[in-house]
Amino acid sequence: MLSSRRTFCLVVTLMSLPLTLSEALADYIGAENCASCHQQEWQDWQGSHHQLSMAEATESTVLGDFGGAEILYRDILSQFSERDGKYYVTTDNSVGEMEEFEITHTFGWEPLQQYLISFEDGRKQALNLAWDSRPESEGGQRWFNLYSEDDIEAGDLLHWTSFPFTWNTSCAACHSTNLEKNYQTESNSFDTSWSEINVACEACHGEGSEHLSWVANQDPSTENGGFPWPLETTGGWAFTEPGSAVASQVGASGPQVEQEVCAQCHSLRTELQPFLGSYHDAFQISPVEEPLYHLDGQIREEVFVMGSFTQSRMHDMGVTCSNCHQPHSLELLAEPNQVCAQCHLPSLYDTEEHHFHPLESAGALCVDCHMPASNFMVIDGRRDHNIRVPRPDLSEEFDSPNACTQCHMEESDQWAVEYFNQWWPNVGSHYAEHLAESEQPQNTRLSRLFSVLSEPDTNSIARSRLLQEIGATGSQTAFNAIRRYSRSDSVIERQGAVSALANFPLEQTQSLLFPLLEDEFLSVRLATTRQLASLDQTQLNTEQQNRLSQALTESLRALESQQDSPGNALQLSALYSSLGDTENALRTVDQALRIAPDWMPALINQAALYSSIGDENAAGTSLRRAISAYPDQAEPYYALGLSQIRTGERSSALLNLERASNLNTDNAHYRYVYAVALYEAGQTELAISEIAQTYDSNPDQIYIGIAAASYQIQLGQIEEAKQILELLEQYGSDNPQVRQIADYLLQFP
């Protein structure tokens, strides 16, 4: 579940995990059929998190205290009871009234266990009241609320009856085997089924019936022993060079399907189509950027490992999941430092000279420095698989965590920096330092970003992140850099390039985008299709028309099949809108709101659609509904202000634009639009003061400076315009409008 309210609106779009119908010809045979031949693997799997991921609620599976226990959250006293072998909770329902519900299934095992409640429409909802299954000596054996620090009430999107807690959509694909979601759009209901209630053998290996046939006939032409994809990894790691400190990969490196199989569930992603052995053909991984991650790439929200591991040097060197984890028990292959010692010479690394801590202390554990843990779901510690060098100096600059003060909690970041600089004086720069240089002139900043982008050691994830920042400048040099990565061998880099190209006009980018409509991976094709959808197809040649038409058909089919997720329904609405199909765009945004009532992104998109057909009254209704649900969020006030400008309600528009700029002071564009509205309302002095101050605080936002200087020139404020020009020439000297302003001001020596 999500760890805070602040990222829900973004994460719910990214974290849509819809279940898909099995399209394979082979059949699922069940784990017990595997056990007869694979007894050791079966035994290892017993008691694992996969085997215990979900179960029917019985005396042997329920860990929580249902003997009359109570928990108070806000003014709601929830009670747990047991009758006739069944388990019940009395708590607040979807309208805030107390109601008794039967617990039908358990969900997870330790360090916490959640509980599912089944409804007549086929939904299963996960309670946000969970059982702490740790020993009492560790603070466990108690009921707790996953959102104890928030004020969640009925109707809130984080209430247990709301969409994020719907097991069928948000949880089931990764907690059961061969899920068939069977969502019915017309009735907004589910008839979900599964082959096995938990994560069993075929959840990872794929359908097993063809394997049984292969066992019977041993046909040498059968690939992968009859399974749909291979999971074996050939080769290994060894210290092959005399005196080498780090092991090298030996033998042929095995296919990385194993890692992609794990990543199906151990990543924050959007499902696109059934997984058939290729991760990027089935899923779109969430980008490594704020607010899901810190600026330096460390995990911030619950992102399920893969996004952080893909940033690591271990990943780039070919390390895969089973190099560290036993694939059936899921336990580490050995004690933590011994796992690392497989590849890192312990006589060099497992020493006080390396980690500067006593050998028997926590500081001597590799993972505590290189993979620090953060708690999610209140008590569930998840290690950051970035496997990074601790950087307390970055913590001082970006307020990101670091392993030093996470352990030495009584000390400051500055204390850690002093020791760090003594121990590792030449650690080098980090790409986040260049991302943060927003106060630098654009040319200087771009030069530094280009430098990091071109370094051979720069990771694909980092390159993708850098491409977004470079693309945001909209400059020709940025476009030229992005062009190269649109043809990269790395799917992550191609995805980053496609996203970065959205900052440029389609007439400039379409020649780069069209070839990507035939990319190997669906994730790239869909992202490309979204950008090209708004093209006027009558202006394309026959080959381009056919290519785009096929891509649109593929995208629409993928998203239409996943409308149980409001995020996917909203993406579908945006695609229809790009095609000029407002009727279907409104239909699918309504579908998003049907599942997630009062969800702000859907309401704002709905308002934009109404505005596009001239119905500002309906747009205003949607936006006021969003404001009522999210009174502290700036975006609906901003959108309502623009709508009111179009309807001539200037006074109300100014109030709402001012509210938006005050609620989100970091958004320079909101303050710019507010200043322009003031100017057009005749409040010229206040407007120019507002826009000049905004540009002074955001000198990289060239368009704001151009507007400020233009207004000052109109009012004869020549000296003030010259001061603005000084900044403009630092940050946008190649901009033609800046040159026009400079040429005009030359007549005033």
Cα separation of 528 and 550, whole Å?
A: 13
% of residues, the chain, pLDDT over 70: 96
pLDDT digits (tens, 9 = 90+) for 524-574: 999 999 999 999 988 999 999 999 999 999 999 999 988 999 999 999 999
Nearest to 396 by CA among 367, 363, 420, 371: 420
Q: Which residues of 462-491 are buried (b: 16+ CB within 10 A; e: fewer)?
A: bbbbbbbbbbebbbeebbebbeebbebeeb
Secondary structure of residue 727 in the 3-state scheme: helix
When comparing pLDDT for 242 and 294, which is higher? 294
pLDDT digits (tens, 9 = 90+) for 568-599: 999 999 999 999 999 999 999 999 999 999 99
**What is the number of other CB atoms lying within 10 angstroms of the CB of residue 169?**
27
pLDDT at site 256: 73
Secondary structure of residue 215 in the 3-state scheme: helix
CB 390 within 8 A of CB 360: no
Token pair for residue 511? 């020649």
Walk across the sheet containing 86-92 and list its strands.
70-73, 76-83, 86-92, 98-103
pLDDT digits (tens, 9 = 90+) for 661-703: 999 999 999 999 999 999 999 999 999 999 999 999 988 888 9
Token pair for residue 176? 């059961």
CA angle, 593 then 596 then 600, to 5°: 75
Bridge partner list, 376: 380
Q: Which residues of 545-576 are buried (b: 16+ CB within 10 A; e: fewer)?
A: eebbeebbebbbebbebbbbbbbbbbbbbbbb
**What is the number of other CB atoms lying within 10 angstroms of the CB of residue 43?**
12
Token pair for residue 270? 């959007």
Q: Which residues of 117-153 are buried (b: 16+ CB within 10 A; e: fewer)?
A: beeeebbbbbbbbbbbbeeeeeebeebbbbbeeeebe
Give the mean model confidence (pLDDT) for residues 427-444: 83
List, in order, residues 6 or more apart from 479 with CB less than 8 Å away.
471, 501, 504, 508, 509
CB 463 within 8 A of CB 483: no
629 pLDDT above the threshold of 70: yes
Q: How confident is the model at residue 21 (pLDDT cuts 50, 70, 90)?
A: very low
Bridge partner list, 90: 79, 100
Bridge partner list, 118: 124
E-strand ranges in 469-528 read: none
Query: What are the angstrom distances between the C-alpha of 714 and each of 110, 312, 320, 708, 721?
Result: 68, 54, 63, 10, 10
Q: How confident is the model at residue 237 (pLDDT cuts 50, 70, 90)?
A: confident
Q: How confident is the model at residue 4 (pLDDT cuts 50, 70, 90)?
A: very low
Phi/psi of residue 103, nearest 5 degrees: -80, 120
Give the mean model confidence (pLDDT) for residues 460-467: 95
pLDDT at site 25: 64
Cα separation of 71 and 309, whole Å?
A: 38
pLDDT at site 444: 83
Cα separation of 166 and 565, whole Å?
A: 10
Element (H, E) at 466: helix 460-471
Find tokens 């109707």 and name the residue.
Answer: 155
pLDDT at site 445: 84
Phi/psi of residue 295, nearest 5 degrees: -55, -30
Give the mean model confidence (pLDDT) for residues 474-491: 93
pLDDT digits (tens, 9 = 90+) for 147-175: 988 999 998 889 999 999 999 999 999 99
Q: How confident is the model at residue 429 (pLDDT cuts 50, 70, 90)?
A: confident
Q: Which residues of 330-341 are buried (b: 16+ CB within 10 A; e: fewer)?
A: eeeeeeebebbb
Handedness of CA 543, 546, 551, 552 (dihedral sign): positive
Cα separation of 68 and 174, whole Å?
A: 32
Element (H, E) at 190: strand 189-190
Token pair for residue 501? 């190209």
% of residues, the chain, pLDDT over 90: 82
Domain boundaries, the chain: 8-202, 236-389
Give the up-direction half-sphere exposure of residue 367: CA atoms within 13 A in the CB hemisphere. 15
Lowest mean pLDDT among 317-321, 536-540, 625-629, 728-732: 728-732
Phi/psi of residue 604, nearest 5 degrees: -70, -40
453 pLDDT above the threshold of 50: yes
Q: How confident is the model at residue 385 (pLDDT cuts 50, 70, 90)?
A: very high
Secondary structure of residue 616 in the 3-state scheme: helix
Please confirm whether the linkage preceding 336 is cis (ω < 30° from 0).
no
pLDDT digits (tens, 9 = 90+) for 276-304: 999 999 999 999 999 999 999 999 999 99
pLDDT at site 234: 65
Give Cα 151 to chain centroid, integer Å.
24
CB 291 within 8 A of CB 301: yes
Question: Packing angle between helix 702-714 and helix 736-745, nearest 10 degrees?
Answer: 30
